[in-house]
Amino acid sequence: MSSNETAPTNYLNADYGVRSWLFTVDHKRIAILYLIAVTFFFALGGLMAVLIRLELATPAGDLVQADVYNRLFTMHGVLMIFFFLIPAIPGVLGNFLIPIMIGAKDMAFPKVNLASWYVYMAGGLFAAWSMLHGGVDTGWTFYTPFSTAFSNTYVISTAIGGFLAGFSSILTGLNFIVTVHRMRAPGLTWFRLPLFVWSLYATAIVQILATPVLAITLVLLIAERAFRIGIFDPALGGDPVLFQHLFWFYSHPAVYIMILPAFGVISELVSAFARKRIFGYRVVAAASVSIAVLGFLVWGHHMFVSSQSPYAGVIFSLLSMLVAVPSAVKVFNWTATLYEGSVSWETPMLYALGFIGLFTIGGLTGVMLATMGIDIHVHDTYFVVAHFHYVMVGAVLMAYLGGLHFWWPKITGRMYPIFWSKISALLVFVGFNLTFFPQFLLGYLGMPRRYHAYPDEFQVLNVLSSAGATVLGVGYLIPLVYFFWSMRYGKRAGDNPWDAFGLEWETTSPPPTFNFPATPKVTLEAYDYTGRAEARLARTQPVRSSP
Amino acid sequence: MKLDFPLFPDSASTFAPQLDGIYFFALAVSTFFSLLIAAAVLYLAVRYRRSEPNAVGKREKAGLWLEISWSVIPLAIMLFMFVWGARVFFDARRPPADAVEYYVTAKQWMWKFQHPEGQREINTLHVPVGQPIVLTMTSEDVIHSFFVPAFRAKMDVLPGRYTRYWFEATKVGTYHLFCAEYCGTEHSLMGGRIVVMEERDYEAWLGGAGSATPRIATGAELFAAKSCTTCHRPDSNLQAPYLEGAFGREAELADGSRVLVDENYLRESILDPTAKVVKGYQPLMPTYQGQLSEEELLQLILYIKSLDGGGPAGGAPTSEAAS
Ligand SMILES: [Cu+2]
Ligand SMILES: [Cu+2]
């Protein structure tokens, strides 16, 4: 196909102008709106990470003042968690793909879908407003009574930002649940659903059940800070540990709001590039749901040394071990899928394989942290920072980038430069490990997190980490450039450039406004590559009948 | 830049080798599984590399036994770690009976210590080697966290309540003290040192640190000076409970419930007497909120604890749960 050929009508050229985007109810355009927004917030949060790593290159707090540093890591966390990691995969890939993957025309509630983007942007505005006025310095965890009685920064407006982002997340989750229940194409039974749909479904359960608790917590926080109503501050008769319980009751499940969609992406990638059904499809689907459920019962593992009763700690530790099992099972199943597969090393697969390695390390160190004895020493040190970056950046971001590389030709109809994409995947992997592996060592050595200055003996490891961050930064910049470039100059991709399985690959690239010319019928099991190959063979050689 | 930097922290308490033990075990397990997965992924991805453009993978074979074994084996290992970890944790929380009690008061951004003999220090704590020490800690403002990497010791320090942590130093030397819970502007400078000394050096140091009144005596003085005696004395005509022997028992409250009389309960009884009223008494006691410093409060509590006649109580285990 030549690139000057006029494209058939699709969701991108169906209408033009800013209004056609800002008032769209097409789930694919809303996905693009999310893509632009999360990329912006990621860049902003990334910029803060750059400053943090620069500051930590030397032991003295010399680049920025302590107060500035505290605002930097707080805003880095707030932006990355509430405005990037939580909405990224559901908002961009989920919105774009869920209706297509289930053969539907759109989401169940297209206007709610658009509303969720606006609510998210409103939250983003509050966060941005707070930043412009000097930011907030409580850490993204908003621990009381520091946040309610001591900090003199923009706590309330940032909390409102988080509150709104939460509501957006609830609306998205609600829409996914109803869509998956009501709008599946004929023949698409629950156990024929792509695992990406399963994992976003499980995510949606967590989103609508856990996020209201965040909303309540932030409202209570605002009530105490603004009106001096004693809830958390002991000086007002409150209980500061109550805040931690409420906060982690949301924020541990929030980890799964971030990682479950990533699991879904990896299942798609591994299956597509091994051209093989995911090993133990049902087990992998069930694992997502059991993670979602068990994830509600483990929040106290953040509070072993908070003065929480040691007996409560025992239960939280035990349950945390249990929730690790389904995650481990997934890793084993992905690995087993490669066996007797037809594995190709395309860019998305590089991300997926990288994910498996990094998530394994992130998950295992999570088990170490959930072991009560070990946690005494490593709690609130760089060991924790390294652990959750392995999960949040090593896993979630790798999955998001892998997914973006996988579905980019579907989303835009264009291919990005393969060579550069492989280089950047490599840089991201190497840079990531260089940045965060030394932090495990720092943590066990005893360097506490959220430190603006630190003793000399921690410097070498910090310098390594900062150097790695540079590599990582370059790794992220390259895709930013070539994705833009490809929208105009990329080769036309065709409908199914990877010859992958799934309804999204059966429509055109980019898809038309209502996704399919006619509602598709599903006759094959999920990822039935062999079945599809046989069907193709039968079509090309119709005369030979089987005995 | 110092290039001869350590990769592993000093080990200077009885607890450190215990924690390192489970850590090394977990590390070995993690390393093994990480390498196993990495090797399997790389091997399979190379071995089954796509041979020709249209090739597809083989149909999967049923793998029930595989699924069961790779759920059960990790679970068994993790349960083992859980049990071990919980035991280590409880050891860190149960001070031995002969532990000597030191007070820690944290505030933005400093640590204040008081020795049993009454000597005070800021940001540096001198302790004798080989002596179990239990810290009773509270904060005057936000949450802090007492963290000594060389002891593998960490415990949050909260406003409005007491938390306790114990350790026994095994090696003479000077070790970092950090605040591990983010507490505002100078969080990263809220550090200090723990100086571990030989017993006789410590005694000498105590002598040189100026004469001080033992905390328990100060507590007794306060008990009179703050007019607790007007009510809490057998010969008082105002009805108030005897405090002799109260500590460590259960008190029966006006609403019929029972609570353990521990440090946190005593603290609440003094600062917020109407919150829990003892059965059979009128809520007559005035609040002492704002009239006692954290240190005075601790000394008063120490005095009340000693009232059972058996001398100053030190190492009784207490629950850290909210009272
Ligand atoms: Cu958690
Ligand atoms: Cu502090």
Instruction: Average the pLDDT over B124-151 and give the result.
Output: 95
Whether A337 sits inside 8 A of B60 (CB atoms) is yes
Into how many domains does chain A fold? 1
A89-123 pLDDT, tens digit per residue, is 999 999 999 999 999 999 999 999 999 999 999 99
A427-459 pLDDT, tens digit per residue, is 999 999 999 999 999 999 999 999 999 999 999
Chain B, nearest residue to A308 by Cα: B321
Distance of CA A417 to the CA centre of its chain: 25
CB atoms inside a 10 Å sphere around CB A512: 15
For ligand 2, the distance from its centroid to the CA atom of residue B138, given in whole angstroms, is 12
* A5 occurs within a structural domain: no
CATH 2.60.40.420 occupies which residues in chain B?
100-208
Per-residue pLDDT at A323: 93
Angle made by CA atoms A475, A478, A480, in degrees to the nearest 5: 115
Kind of pairing, strands B144-148 and B153-157?
antiparallel
Per-residue pLDDT at B251: 85
B187-202 pLDDT, tens digit per residue, is 999 999 999 999 999 9
Handedness of CA B301, B303, B305, B307 (dihedral sign): negative
A306-345 pLDDT, tens digit per residue, is 999 999 999 999 999 999 999 999 999 999 999 999 999 9
Which ligand gives the minimal distance to the CA of B109? Answer: 2
CATH of the domain at A373: 1.20.210.10
Q: Which CATH number fits the domain B229-306, given the four candidates 3.30.450.40, 1.10.150.20, 1.10.3720.10, 1.10.760.10?
A: 1.10.760.10
The CA distance from B248 to B309, in Å, is 13
How close does chain A come to B323, measured CA to CA in Å? 10
CB atoms inside a 10 Å sphere around CB A86: 26
Query: What pTM did the predictor assign?
Result: 0.90
Whether A146 sits inside 8 A of B321 (CB atoms) is no
Q: Pick from B37, B88, B320: which is nearest to A360 by CB?
A: B37
Residue B313 has pLDDT above 50, yes or no: no
How close does chain A come to B205, measured CA to CA in Å? 27
Residue type, A306: S
The answer to whether the CB of A470 falls within 8 A of the CB of A431 is: yes
Instruction: Average the pLDDT over A522-531 and give the result.
Output: 91
Chain A, nearest residue to B319 by Cα: A309
Q: Torsion angle, CA of B19/B20/B26/B29, rounded to 10 degrees?
A: -160
CATH 1.10.760.10 occupies which residues in chain B?
229-306
Domain that holds residue A111: 30-531
Q: B13, B25, B37: best mutation site toward chain A, by most A Cβ within 10 Å?
A: B37
Whether B18 sits inside 8 A of A373 (CB atoms) is yes
Average pLDDT of chain A?
A: 93
Chain B, nearest residue to A316 by Cα: B82
How close does chain A come to B265, measured CA to CA in Å? 14
Q: Pick from B59, B84, B161: which is nearest to A530 by CB?
A: B59
Q: What is the ipTM of this complex?
A: 0.91
Q: How does residue A3 score in pLDDT terms, banded at 50, 70 and 90?
A: very low
Whether B89 sits inside 8 A of A313 (CB atoms) is yes
* Stronger pLDDT, A412 or B322, i.e. the higher one: A412
A14-56 pLDDT, tens digit per residue, is 888 899 999 999 999 999 999 999 999 999 999 999 999 999 9
Residue A472 has pLDDT above 90, yes or no: yes
Residue B97's nearest CA partner among B286, B257, B293, B317 is B317
Residue A250's nearest CA partner among A319, A313, A166 is A166
Q: Pick from A235, A340, A444: which is nearest to B48 by CB?
A: A340
The CA distance from A357 to B38, in Å, is 6
The answer to whether the CB of A206 falls within 8 A of the CB of A295 is: yes
The CA distance from A476 to B214, in Å, is 62
Backbone angles phi, psi at A113, to 5 degrees: -60, -45
Superfamily of domain B100-208: Cupredoxins -  blue copper proteins (2.60.40.420)
- H helices of B177-315, in order, are 199-208, 215-225, 263-271, 294-306
How many A/B residue pairs have CB atoms within 8 Å? 293
Whether B81 sits inside 8 A of A322 (CB atoms) is no
How close does chain B come to A302, measured CA to CA in Å? 12
